[in-house]
Structure 1
């Protein structure tokens, strides 16, 4: 292990990624919670659920999922970083490392860029024009904001920048200052998730999302049908379910 004095104190170390194969890099990601996992664990990521993060960390399989949007994000990362430097004058460089918080070793960070000579980092994003409203008037998608706080928690950085190119629409930069209260709450949530779910191999409860449904189908492809007698306290829950179903029907009719 080697230490990067300009960003992190001696209490935090990292693993070089320059010579890692893609499969080795994916396996290292399984050993802890990364920045892209943090928002999902907090229930803020519309594309990933806590259940899917659990499945990724506990499965022996290497899930190398990819799509066109992800490919464009990787290819345009250098462009976003270069535009950021042009707009701000700040010099940034690749980290080529996976950082680990030694106080909370399950917390990992695979950051996009680090400032030269300052305790600050940069996250580069690419998004569709259809998502422009999520960045309007200084807004930040919540799971991206949590991602940056996670990186600050791991590296000890004082601030983190988000730079996003909205394809065909514009380029935005947002600075997120370190917030100790948010970071401590995030550490608590991540520690609970890692110790109570990943370590104990206890899958989180489904959150009702389609993503969780996919994980359940993957884990239990063959369902067994049988009748069971429910406890009496389920009656209230079933009645509430009926009420919600009726309300949904009325709202859908009004929408049409």
Structure 2
């Protein structure tokens, strides 16, 4: 597939005045920029299967969890501020276009761009506005762009037929805690992206066939949990197909290898403790010490760590004696543990 560059994006709908639900319905008509990494199996948030469920109206890509709704709102509400800081720092004019666009040659490719950039010489670029917290700024280290944002930018350049995208990310509370990254169009990567998106849309969404899981195990397990819901402890035992025996044996093999590795880790930890027993004895109740040797100085610390916890029995008493406090402050989250036991068949 060779990319034709003689095209202009088409307007799918004006987003001015759309409700959030209406906006989501239009997004389900194709693949948006924030979906691109999931199509490539590289999203940190959802699998290709999750995206398929969303596009088919089976299930939303991501649930609105209490743990992340604030971060989402902060990102949305600060878009205008991030764009303003970018404009001040670069001297470039930025402006929004409240429309959702589609690729005229690949109409399943959609774009709802944050802002456009007027370079002042007749060229137009794309500005994507992001926010993150101080501890996550390392994801942008060494002039890099997080991979999910990179594919979002490449998707937008493809739809809009533009050659440059800037990412502006605010990670603090002043203009100096601000990251700017520039990315140019790469037609080889774009060709691969279009091919993957076309395959996802035509072979899975349009044919109503679930795509395979290709992502990291934790993300896949979370995807399965979201789709099927909480565990049903009183449900019947499922008679699984013998085809899973290979997977079971692989699991048992890895479990055995992990047990051996854990033994070695414990042995090494014991040896490490033996090595500093005399140092701890000399420190006594003190928490720090130092050793000078030539032009080096070794700073030793032996600091206390405190952990506040409520044991299970105390928690049960709290539930019985003060159910009002228990309900207000105790939350229950579900995780599931996989195990295999082998016994002789009856």
Shorter-chain TM range is 0.7 to 0.9
Cross-structure match for 2:330: none
Distance 2:85 2:168 in 1: 9
Q: Does 1:129 align with 2:127?
A: no
Compare CA radii of gyration and give the structure with the larger one.
2
Distance 1:175 1:154 in 2: 18
Task: Give structure 1 stretches of 5+ with no counterpart.
Answer: 1-7
Task: Give structure 2 stretches of 5+ with no counterpart.
Answer: 270-346
Q: Does the CA contact (< 8 Å) of 1:32 and 1:106 recur in 2?
A: yes
Distance 2:23 2:53 in 1: 18
Distance 1:31 1:250 in 2: 51
Question: Which 10-residue stretch deviates more, 213-222 or 31-40?
Answer: 213-222
Cross-structure match for 2:10: 13
Deviation at 1:19, TM superposition (A): 3.0
Q: Does the CA contact (< 8 Å) of 1:23 and 1:62 recur in 2?
A: no
Question: Which 10-residue stretch deviates more, 28-37 or 13-22?
Answer: 13-22
Cross-structure match for 1:230: 242
1:57-206 matched pairs, under 5 angstroms: 57-59=55-57, 66=64, 67-116=69-118, 117-168=122-173, 170-206=177-213
When normalised by structure 1's length, the TM-score is: 0.86
Distance 2:236 2:105 in 1: 44
Which secondary structure state, in structure 2, belongs to the residue aligned with residue 19 of structure 1?
coil
Q: Does 1:242 align with 2:252?
A: yes
Distance 1:172 1:251 in 2: 41
Which secondary structure state, in structure 1, belongs to the residue aligned with residue 181 of structure 2?
strand
Cα-to-partner distance string for 1:132-166 (whole Å, 9 max, x where unaligned): 11112212110110100000111101110101011
Question: Which 10-residue stretch deviates more, 146-155 or 242-251?
Answer: 242-251
Distance 2:240 2:46 in 1: 32
When normalised by structure 2's length, the TM-score is: 0.65
CA RMSD of aligned residues (A): 2.8
Distance 2:230 2:103 in 1: 31
Distance 2:231 2:201 in 1: 23
Count of residues in correspondence between the two structures: 247
